[in-house]
Structure 1
Amino acid sequence: MDRVIQKKKWSNKRLMTIAGITGVVVLVAGSIFFTSGKSKLNVDTERITISEIKKGPFQEFIPVNGVVMPRTTIYLDAVEGGQVEEKYVEDGAMLKKGDPILKLSNIDEELSLASQESAVFGEQTQMQIAHNNAQQNTVSKLNQMADVDNAYKEAERIYLLDKSLYEQKAIGLQEYQAAKNNYDYQVRRKRLTTQILKQDTSLTKQQEQQAQEHYAQMKNALTLMRKKVGSLTLRAPIDGQLTSMDAEVGQNKNKGEHLGQIDAQNGFKVRVDVEEHYLSRIYNGLMGDFVFADKTYKLTIKKVYSQITNGRFQVDMEFVGTVPKGIRKGQTLQIRLALSDETTALLVPRGGFYQQTGGNWIFKVSEDGKTAYKTDVQIGRQNPDYFEVLQGLKPGDKVITSSYENYGDIQELVLKE
C-alpha cells in the first residue's frame, strides 16, 4: 500500500532564495540610508586648517607688479636715414638740451641741399637782374613821359596863342588849324603815354610780387632741406640721461629707426600690468601702496591704457608724497592696488575650500570642537587674504578653510586629534 509523503513547506532552495532577496534589500536599504542620511568621515585635525570668523577692517585689492620708469621719456628716432659717421657721447651720458649725440651721413640729402642752395642763389641773381631791367625800363618810360608832357605843353601854348590871333584876324585859318591839329595830337599822345606808363608800372609790380613769392617758396624749401640735413646730427631734445642707445659708427640706419631715448630727471612713475578682468574697475585716482626698505609708500593711477595685450592692460601710477630714496629705473615693485575703500566686515581667511564650494557652503566646527558640518554661507568681496562673509556665520565661529578635495559628498566631519 502506497504511503502519502507530505511536501515540505520550506525547502533549502526556497530558503536560499529568500536569504538572497533579503540581502539585496538590506544592501539597497543601507545604501539609501547612507546616501540620504548624514555620511561621516574621520579627519585628523593636524591635516586641516581651522580658522576663526572675525570682524575687522576689509579692503578689496589685487596684487600687481609695477616697473619703475622715468616720468618723462623722449624717444630718439632717425628723421632721415644714413650711415653713422660719428658718435659724440656714449649710452648713460647726462646731456643738456641741444647737445650733439651722433651724426649720420647721407650723400643724397647733402647733394640735394647743395642743388637747392644753387637754385636759390640763381633765382636771387635773376630777380636782381629783372629788378634792374625794370628800373631801367621805368626810367626810360618816365623820360619818354617827360618829353611827351613837354611837347604837350608847347603845343598847348602855341594853340592858345594862335587861337587868340586867329580870333583877332591876325593869322589865317590854315596856320590856326595846324596849331590846333598839333595840340589835339599831343593831347592824345599824352593820354596814351600816361596809360602805357600806368600799365607798365602795374605789370612791373605784379612781376616783382610773383618773383618775390617764388623766391620765398624756394627759400622755404631751402630752409626745410637744411633742416633735413641738420637732422642728420642727432641732438638732445631735453635735459636728461641718454639710455638705450643703439648705434655704432659705420652702421646704416633707416628713416624712422629707433636710436635711443632721453630720460628726463624730473622724477619717476610706475608702469603696472593688470589682468583684463579688472579693466572696468580701474580708473584714474585709484590708490595703491607698496613696501620699500621697511616703509610703506603710496601710489595713485594717473593714466589707463585700455589696449589689451595677452590678456593684460597697463596703467601708469605716480608717487603720492615722499618718493623712496634709492629707488632705481627698472626696479620691480609689488603693489597692492585698492579696488574699494576700507570698511568693517565679517572676515574668513582665504583657503582651498573655495575651489570646491564656490563660496556657497563651508564646514563649520561644532561648539565642542569634535565635529564639523556643512553650513550654507554667502561670500561677497575678496582680497588675497580674506573673503567677506555676508550671511551664514557670525564672529567667533570656527570653520575649516583648507581644501575639501577629498571629502566628496561627506556631510559631517569627525575631528580626531
Structure 2
Amino acid sequence: MDRVIEKKKWPARKIWTIAGIAALVALIGGSYYYTAGASRLNVDTERITISEIKKGIFQENIPVNGIVLPVTTIYLDATEGGRVEEKYVEDGAIMTKGQPILRLSNTDLELSLSNQETQVFNVLTQMQISRNNADQNTITRLNQMAEVDNAVKEAERVYNVNKRLHEQKAIGKQEYQSSENLYNYQQKRKNLTVDILKKDSISSRQQLSQMQQSYERMQNALQLMRRKVGDLVVRAPVDGQLTSLDAEIGQSKNKGERLGQLDVLSGFKVRADIDEHYISRIITGLKGTFNFAGRDYVLTIKKVYTQVTGGRFQVDMEFEGEVPKGVRRGQTLQIKLALSDEKQAILLSKGGFYQQTGGNWIYKLNEAGTVAYKTDIQLGMQSPDNYEVLSGLQPGDKVITSSYENFGTNQELILKRK
C-alpha cells in the first residue's frame, strides 16, 4: 500500500542564514566594484561646461594690455637750479616751440654773470690801452727812423763832397776819413733802427693777438654764462602738449630735476607689458590686433625693452595703417599679440579644468553623454580662446572644460540631469 510522503519545508532559521550569506556576498562584491574598479562621482550636468572638440584655423596669440602714448615724449629738466618765480602756462597747455613755460631765479648765477661781464669789460679796456700804447710806440719808432734816414742822407752828402775834394787835394785825409766814418756809423744806426722797428712791430702784433684771443675766450664764457641765465626761463623745445608739469611758485628746483614733459602730437604709439615667460619669443615685427569702436586695427612691434621688472617687460608698438579716431593718450587697449602664423589644428576651448590638470588630462564624455572618464591628452600652443590639441582628442569629442575643483581624484563622472 502506497504511503503519502509529506513534503518537507525549510526551516526559517536556514532561510535567514542563506539570505545573510547572499547579502554578505553582495556587500563584498559591491565593495570590490567600487574600490578595485574605477572610482565614480555623480555630477549634475547643469553645473559643468561641456565643450565639443573642433578643427579650425588656429593662431597662437596672447592677450596683453597696452597704453596709448605719444610717438615722441621730450622730458623737461631744470638745466639750472633755482626758485620758481613765475608760471606762464598750466599743465595740459598746447605749446609752440620757444614759448616760455616758467621762470626760475638764481642769485648766485646772476652774480656770476655780472662778474663775468666786468672781467670782459676790464680785458677789453686793457686791450684798448695796449693798442694805444703800441700805436704810440710805433709812432715814436717811425720818428726815430725818419731822423736816422735824414742823418744817413746828410752823412752821405758830406762823405761824397769830401771824397771829391780829397781826390782834388782840396782837403786833408783826416777830414775825409772823419766824414767817411760818420757815414758808416749812420748806415749802421739805420740798420739797427730798422731791426728794432721790425721787432717792436712783431711784438706788438703778438701781444695784441694774445689779448684778442683772451678777449674772445672771455666773450665765449660770457655768452655761455648768459645762456645759463637764459635757461632760467624754461621754454618749450618743440611744438606739443605740456603734461606732468611739477612746479609751483616759490618751490625750489635742483639742477637736473624733472619739471614735466612735452608730448609731440604728431602721432601715437602703444606701450605694452608682457609676461617674462615670452621674452625669448618676442621680436620686432610681430603683429597684434585690437578692437576699437567696432573696428579691428593692427599694431606692429617696433622696439623691445629687454629689462625685466616685476616679472614683466615692455614693447613699443606702432599703428599699421589708419590710427583709430578718438584714441587718446593714456587709454588702455586690449591687444591680441600673435606669436605664430595661422594654421589648421584641433581646437580645445579654454576653461577652468587647466588649473587642476595642467593640460595633461581631461574628462571626456562617452557617446551617450552619460559618463565622463579621464583621458590623457597633450596640448601645444594656446590663444585667448583655445588650446591646440596635439594628441588624445579628435574633432567631435565632447569634454568637460569647467573647473575640476570638486571632482577629487575620481576616475569617472556619472552625468545626471535634474
Report the counterpart of residue 109 of structure 2 in structure 1. Answer: 109
| Partners of 2:259 and 2:239 in 1: CA distance | 17
Q: 3-state SS of the aligned residue for 2:330?
A: coil
Report the counterpart of residue 21 of structure 2 in structure 1. Answer: none
Corresponding letter in the other structure for 1:357: T
Q: How has the CA–CA distance of structure 1 residues 234 and 331 changed in structure 2, closer, same or farther, with 3 Å as cutoff?
A: same
**Does 1:354 find its partner at 2:361?**
no
Corresponding letter in the other structure for 1:79: T
Report the counterpart of residue 343 of structure 1 in structure 2. Answer: 343
Q: How has the CA–CA distance of structure 1 residues 92 and 353 changed in structure 2, closer, same or farther, with 3 Å as cutoff?
A: closer
Corresponding letter in the other structure for 1:391: S
Q: Deviations over 1:286-338 (max 9, x none)?
A: 21122222222222222222222222222222222222222222222211122
**Does 1:264 find its partner at 2:264?**
yes
Report the counterpart of residue 383 of structure 1 in structure 2. Answer: 383
Q: How has the CA–CA distance of structure 1 residues 179 and 355 changed in structure 2, closer, same or farther, with 3 Å as cutoff?
A: same
Q: Deviations over 1:89-129 (max 9, x none)?
A: 22222222111222122222222212211221221121111
**Alpha-carbon distance, 1:168 to partner:** 5.2
Report the counterpart of residue 275 of structure 2 in structure 1. Answer: 275
Corresponding letter in the other structure for 1:210: Q
| Partners of 1:168 and 1:313 in 2: CA distance | 116
Q: How has the CA–CA distance of structure 1 residues 55 and 167 changed in structure 2, closer, same or farther, with 3 Å as cutoff?
A: farther
Corresponding letter in the other structure for 1:192: L
Corresponding letter in the other structure for 1:248: E
- In the alignment, structure 1 segments of 5+ residues that lack a partner are 1-26
**Alpha-carbon distance, 1:80 to partner:** 1.6
**Alpha-carbon distance, 1:160 to partner:** 4.4
Q: How has the CA–CA distance of structure 1 residues 168 and 37 changed in structure 2, closer, same or farther, with 3 Å as cutoff?
A: farther
Q: 3-state SS of the aligned residue for 1:120?
A: helix
**Does 1:393 find its partner at 2:393?**
yes
Map 1:44-193 to 2 at 5 A: 44-167=44-167, 169-193=169-193
> Could you tell which deviates more after superposition, 59-68 or 38-47?
38-47
| Partners of 1:145 and 1:264 in 2: CA distance | 72
Corresponding letter in the other structure for 1:343: K
Q: How has the CA–CA distance of structure 1 residues 183 and 39 changed in structure 2, closer, same or farther, with 3 Å as cutoff?
A: same
> Could you tell which deviates more after superposition, 169-178 or 331-340?
169-178
**Alpha-carbon distance, 1:408 to partner:** 4.4
Report the counterpart of residue 211 of structure 2 in structure 1. Answer: 211
| Partners of 1:180 and 1:403 in 2: CA distance | 132
Q: 3-state SS of the aligned residue for 2:265?
A: coil
**Alpha-carbon distance, 1:220 to partner:** 0.8
Identity of aligned residues (%): 67
**Alpha-carbon distance, 1:35 to partner:** 6.7
**Does 1:321 find its partner at 2:321?**
yes
Q: How has the CA–CA distance of structure 1 residues 30 and 194 changed in structure 2, closer, same or farther, with 3 Å as cutoff?
A: farther
**Alpha-carbon distance, 1:208 to partner:** 0.8
| Partners of 1:37 and 1:248 in 2: CA distance | 78
Q: How has the CA–CA distance of structure 1 residues 255 and 314 changed in structure 2, closer, same or farther, with 3 Å as cutoff?
A: same
**Alpha-carbon distance, 1:135 to partner:** 1.0
| Partners of 1:202 and 1:28 in 2: CA distance | 129
**Alpha-carbon distance, 1:222 to partner:** 0.8
Q: 3-state SS of the aligned residue for 2:213?
A: helix
| Partners of 1:30 and 1:175 in 2: CA distance | 166
Map 1:227-266 to 2 at 5 A: 227-266=227-266
| Partners of 2:176 and 2:293 in 1: CA distance | 121
| Partners of 2:87 and 2:73 in 1: CA distance | 21
| Partners of 1:42 and 1:90 in 2: CA distance | 68
Q: 3-state SS of the aligned residue for 2:108?
A: helix
Report the counterpart of residue 197 of structure 1 in structure 2. Answer: 197
| Partners of 1:36 and 1:189 in 2: CA distance | 138
Q: 3-state SS of the aligned residue for 1:117?
A: helix
For normalisation by structure 1, the TM-score amounts to 0.86
Q: How has the CA–CA distance of structure 1 residues 145 and 375 changed in structure 2, closer, same or farther, with 3 Å as cutoff?
A: same
| Partners of 1:28 and 1:151 in 2: CA distance | 155
> Could you tell which deviates more after superposition, 43-52 or 135-144?
43-52
**Alpha-carbon distance, 1:406 to partner:** 4.2
Corresponding letter in the other structure for 2:392: G
Corresponding letter in the other structure for 1:364: K
CA RMSD of aligned residues (A): 2.6
**Alpha-carbon distance, 1:30 to partner:** 10
Corresponding letter in the other structure for 1:334: Q
**Alpha-carbon distance, 1:170 to partner:** 4.5
| Partners of 1:306 and 1:91 in 2: CA distance | 32
Q: Deviations over 1:140-174 (max 9, x none)?
A: 11221222233233333443454455455444322
Q: Deviations over 1:190-234 (max 9, x none)?
A: 222122112111111111111011101110111011111111112
Corresponding letter in the other structure for 2:93: A
| Partners of 1:396 and 1:163 in 2: CA distance | 142
| Partners of 2:155 and 2:57 in 1: CA distance | 116
Corresponding letter in the other structure for 1:287: K
| Partners of 1:399 and 1:240 in 2: CA distance | 56
**Alpha-carbon distance, 1:37 to partner:** 4.8
| Partners of 2:51 and 2:79 in 1: CA distance | 64
**Does 1:331 find its partner at 2:345?**
no
Q: How has the CA–CA distance of structure 1 residues 142 and 32 changed in structure 2, closer, same or farther, with 3 Å as cutoff?
A: farther
**Alpha-carbon distance, 1:40 to partner:** 3.7
> Could you tell which deviates more after superposition, 384-393 or 167-176?
167-176
Q: Deviations over 1:357-389 (max 9, x none)?
A: 332333322223233333332211112211111
| Partners of 2:215 and 2:34 in 1: CA distance | 104
Report the counterpart of residue 14 of structure 2 in structure 1. Answer: none
Q: 3-state SS of the aligned residue for 2:266?
A: coil
